[in-house]
Amino acid sequence: MYQFDSRVRYSEVDSGRELTLPALLDYFQDCCTFQSEDLGVGVDYLSQSQTAWMLSSWEIRLNRNPRMGERIRVSTWPYQFKGFYGYRNFKLEDAGGNLLAAANSVWVYMDTASMRPARIGGKMEAVYGKDLSPQIEGEWSQRKIPISAIESAERKAPVSVARCYIDTNLHMNNGKYILVAQEYLPEAFKIGRLRAEYKKSAVSGDVLYPAVITEEHQVTVLLSDEKGNQYAVVQFLEE
User: Per mean pLDDT, which range of 146-150, 216-220, 233-237 is the poorest?
Assistant: 146-150
In the predicted model, what is the mean pLDDT of residues 99-103?
Answer: 98
Q: Is 202 helix (H, G, I), strand (E, B) or coil?
A: coil
**CA distances (Å), 26 to each of 36, 97, 152, 173, in order?**
15, 20, 32, 10
> Looking at residue 123, what is its pLDDT?
86
Residue 229 Ramachandran class (φ > 0 left, ψ -120 to 50 alpha, else beta) = beta
Q: Are residues 41 and 94 in the same domain?
A: yes
User: What are the tens digits of pLDDT across the range 170-207?
Assistant: 999 999 999 999 999 998 899 999 999 999 999 999 99
Q: How far apart are CA 74 and CA 3, in angstroms?
A: 5
Question: Structural domain tally of the chain?
Answer: 2
Whether residue 210 contacts residue 183, with contact meaning beta carbons closer than 8 Å, is answered with no
Q: Are residues 106 and 76 in the same domain?
A: yes
Residue 169 pLDDT level (bands cut at 50, 70, 90): confident
Q: Can you give the residue range of the structural domain that contains 40?
A: 2-128
CA 65 remoteness from chain centre: 17
Whether residue 79 contacts residue 134, with contact meaning beta carbons closer than 8 Å, is answered with yes
User: What are the tens digits of pLDDT across the range 26-79?
Assistant: 999 999 999 999 999 999 999 999 999 999 999 999 999 999 999 999 999 999
Residue 225 pLDDT level (bands cut at 50, 70, 90): very high
Q: How far apart are CA 44 and CA 61, in angstroms?
A: 32
Integer-rounded Cα radius of gyration of the chain: 18
Q: Does the reported pTM lie above 0.85? A: yes
End residue of a domain, out of 128, 158, 193: 128
Tell me the average pLDDT of the chain. Answer: 94
CATH code of 222's domain: 3.10.129.10
Is it the case that residue 131 has pLDDT exceeding 80? no
Q: Is 145 helix (H, G, I), strand (E, B) or coil?
A: coil
Do the domain assignments include residue 136? no
